[in-house]
Amino acid sequence: MKLAINSPRGTTDIYGEDIRYRDFINSTARNIFKVFNFEELITPAFEYTEVFSRSIGEETDIVQKEMYTFFDKKGRSLTLRPEGTASVVRAAVENKMFGSGNLPVKLFYIGNMFRYERPQKGRMREFWQLGVEAMGSDNPVLDAEIIWMLSMIFQRLGFRNLTLLVNSIGCLKCRKAFIKEFKKYLKPKAGGLCGDCRKRLGKNPLRIFDCKVAGCRETAKNGPKIPQYLCESCNTHFTGVTDSLSRLSVNFKISDSLVRGFDYYTKTVFEIVSNDLDSAQNALGGGGRYDDLIAQFGGPDMPAIGFAVGIDRTAMLMKELGIGYGTDTERIKVYLVSMDNDLTGYMLEILKLLRDSGISCDINYTSRSMKAEIKKAEKLDFNIIAFLGEHEFKNKSVTLKNLKDFKQYTISKKEVVEKIFEIAGRI
């Protein structure tokens, strides 16, 4: 009997063009991480459950409903990572990365994350993130640099219609004052909240801001605003962040209802949202400061800040908006076709010439009809056919066909690479 097994709900196989989009996103980000002097860290895909439950917050949706938690054969509770920050902090503390002369420690990561969410467009149970964490400074300039870096990634990828939201949720001291007023505002409205939020109201009302039920989020947003309750030091810090962002010409919008769904955040929080996506899944990336988390993990009392970008969502939106991956020359793929076995030598000459010039290309191994080869080239995402026939061999030339506009050019071998690059600019 044949096995008919699908990939688990909320997961997907990634191949073909999707791989090229992801490679482009990752390499664009890696280049920027290098420019900002960040080093890569790879952590395990699963951790002891406590790493996440304690840091992300017991009242969050992630910890309450979305963790892939299991017991290993020795009965230890393990969890597939739902995000990267907790693991990075655990790793930095465990590996004693905090020396006195190396602060801030600046790390980046690229990896798959797992959340048991209801799958829908742009929301998966296994998804990919790239992120950074800078640990060991509370200087608002660092906040601005991190936000600048996030914005630069999307700019380099070719996005235009995005909004960068920034807010400060203050330190634990100012949050206490806010929560007192927030509870007062919410109590008479408790009947309209979902069951989870009624519980959150007593334990951790901030989490109502990121409830999956839109009505709860709306109620929270219409209440008192966190920035009005910031202490002097948090206010000064936030002014430092926004001033630095302006100096760096980063476009941003202050959003006084941005809170973000993790308990570890303090002071600056930010999110980059697409105006082309549905508001429930419109965040392409986000992050914030977490000044108390490293100490919670038994490390030094050290402030930190970071962000993560959703790679799947970013790739999906790039495709939808028709944003290409890579430069014109990176996108080009040439299919070298000859119908004549006697021309193998000339074919190899041209193949070597193109590949030595960094042009991605393939040849036809079996000669079928020209029509069939064009069909195959289109199916396999080639954008140029380079045809070699008797005439081309005699004249030391190549005939190029741009598969986008079907224009054709017969070019001497010497000039063919240049012509391909020229066509690439129009693809």
One residue of 104, 205, 285, 303 binding ligand HAM per CB under 6 A: 285
Nearer to ligand HAM, 273 or 359 (CB): 273
Distance CA 112, CA 128 (A): 4
Nearer to ligand HAM, 315 or 411 (CB): 315
One residue of 129, 255, 268, 274 binding ligand HAM per CB under 6 A: 129
Nearest to 274 by CA among 327, 323, 210: 323
Distance CA 40, CA 18 (A): 23
Q: Is 286 in the site for ligand HAM (CB under 6 A)?
A: yes
First-last CA distance in the chain: 47
Q: Is 109 in the site for ligand HAM (CB under 6 A)?
A: no
One residue of 41, 60, 310, 318 binding ligand HAM per CB under 6 A: 310
Nearest residue (beta carbon) to ligand HAM: 310
Query: Which residue stretch of 1-9, 310-318, 365-373, 380-388 sits at the interface with ligand HAM (rule: CB under 6 A)?
Result: 310-318
**Rounded to a whole number, what is the largest CA-CA distance in the chain?**
88
Nearer to ligand HAM, 162 or 343 (CB): 162
Distance CA 25, CA 311 (A): 7
Query: In angstroms, what is the minimal distance from the CB of 269 to ligand HAM?
Result: 8
Q: Provide the token pair at 165.
A: 């939201």
Query: In angstroms, what is the minimal distance from the CB of 398 to ligand HAM?
Result: 44
Query: Which residue stretch of 123-131, 162-170, 217-225, 397-405 sits at the interface with ligand HAM (rule: CB under 6 A)?
Result: 123-131
Query: Which residue stretch of 35-43, 195-203, 281-289, 400-408 sits at the interface with ligand HAM (rule: CB under 6 A)?
Result: 281-289
Q: Provide the token pair at 18.
A: 């999707």
Q: CA 54, 270, 124: angle at the middle one, nearest 5?
A: 65
Nearer to ligand HAM, 237 or 313 (CB): 313
Query: In angstroms, what is the minimal distance from the CB of 225 to ligand HAM?
Result: 21
Query: Which residue stretch of 127-135, 206-214, 363-371, 390-398 sits at the interface with ligand HAM (rule: CB under 6 A)?
Result: 127-135
One residue of 117, 210, 349, 422 binding ligand HAM per CB under 6 A: 117
Q: Is 291 in the site for ligand HAM (CB under 6 A)?
A: no
Distance CA 293, CA 34 (A): 25
Q: CA 83, 85, 87: angle at the middle one, nearest 5?
A: 85
The residue behind tokens 């799958």 is: 119
Query: Which residue stretch of 128-136, 175-183, 350-358, 382-390 sits at the interface with ligand HAM (rule: CB under 6 A)?
Result: 128-136
Q: Is 57 in the site for ligand HAM (CB under 6 A)?
A: no
One residue of 115, 207, 267, 333 binding ligand HAM per CB under 6 A: 115
Distance CA 241, CA 231 (A): 15
Query: Which residue stretch of 187-195, 286-294, 341-349, 386-394 sits at the interface with ligand HAM (rule: CB under 6 A)?
Result: 286-294
Burial of 164 (0-12, 13-18, 19+ CB in 10 A): buried
Q: Is 313 in the site for ligand HAM (CB under 6 A)?
A: yes
Per-residue burial over 291-300, b if 16 or more Cβ lie within 10 Å, else e, is bbbbeebebe
Alpha helices in 205-309 (DSSP H): 214-221, 232-247, 293-296
Number of CB atoms found within 10 A of residue 225's CB = 14
Q: Is 140 in the site for ligand HAM (CB under 6 A)?
A: no
Burial of 129 (0-12, 13-18, 19+ CB in 10 A): buried
Q: Is 138 in the site for ligand HAM (CB under 6 A)?
A: no
Nearer to ligand HAM, 169 or 400 (CB): 169
Please list the residues that pair with 408 across neighbouring strands. 401
Number of CB atoms found within 10 A of residue 42's CB = 10
Q: Is 306 in the site for ligand HAM (CB under 6 A)?
A: yes
Q: Is 397 in the site for ligand HAM (CB under 6 A)?
A: no
Query: In angstroms, what is the minimal distance from the CB of 83 to ligand HAM?
Result: 3
Q: Binding mask 233-272 vs ligand HAM (x if CB under 6 A, - otherwise)?
A: ----------------------------------------
Q: Is 302 in the site for ligand HAM (CB under 6 A)?
A: no
Sheet arrangement for strand 39-40: 39-40, 105-114, 126-135, 304-310, 283-289, 266-274, 162-168, 253-254
Radius of gyration of the chain (CA): 27
Q: What are phi and psi of 147, to 5 degrees?
A: -70, -40
Q: Do the Cβ atoms of 336 and 424 come closer than 8 Å?
A: no
Nearer to ligand HAM, 285 or 361 (CB): 285
Query: Interface residues with ligand HAM (CB under 6 A)?
Result: 83-85, 115, 117, 123-124, 127, 129, 131, 133, 283-288, 306-308, 310, 312-313
